[in-house]
Amino acid sequence: MGSENIPFDANEHGPSSEPPLVQGFIVFLESGISQLNNLLRRFDVSRCRVLALHVTSQCGAAMVRIIVSHPEEGRIILERAGLPIADYRLVGVVLPDGVQPLLRVYLPLIQANISVTATHVVPLTGRGKNAVLLEVDAPSRTIEILLAHGFQLIDEKMLAQESPS
């Protein structure tokens, strides 16, 4: 993979620059998944696409992890809903071509003892490829490892560009 195809490189991310991360939100639904329909409908008339969703329901309540194409707009939508929210960060990487692309991403991370707690595959429709958003215990180290192995990282700006406005 040529360096012209990699939007982020190891030299670009020194101590003073922001690493390429994707913002997600954790939303608490006190009444459980019965509130989920109302929550998701708020995105229906927005340019803010829901890219990934994970719902955990227990004891009548639910925790929703939601990743959207335009996080600033997504935050406004969630705040207007009056629901408790928290941010979390993910590392985005374009899945490589070839056999077992997700394993090719995982193996160097596992070898470096990086714990991957969840993955969310999202389509990059403009590129005809998929990306995976990784919830990891050490985002900065994950970025270093993926860059060292030549993977193409993405951030929320790239996800927004892939979405219709």
Domain spans, the chain? 3-21+89-162, 23-88
Homologous superfamily assigned to 3-21+89-162: VC0802-like (3.30.2130.10)
Low-confidence ranges of the chain (pLDDT < 70): 1-18, 163-165
What is residue 164's predicted lDDT score, i.e. its pLDDT? 58
Q: 23-88: same fold as 3-21+89-162? A: yes
DSSP letter, residue 13: -
Model pTM score: 0.81
What is residue 17's predicted lDDT score, i.e. its pLDDT? 59
What is residue 15's predicted lDDT score, i.e. its pLDDT? 45
What are the residues facing 133 on neighbouring strands? 92, 120
Which residue, chain included where needed, has tokens 């509130």? 35
Which architecture characterizes domain 23-88 according to CATH? Answer: 2-Layer Sandwich (3.30)
What is residue 10's predicted lDDT score, i.e. its pLDDT? 41
What is residue 14's predicted lDDT score, i.e. its pLDDT? 45
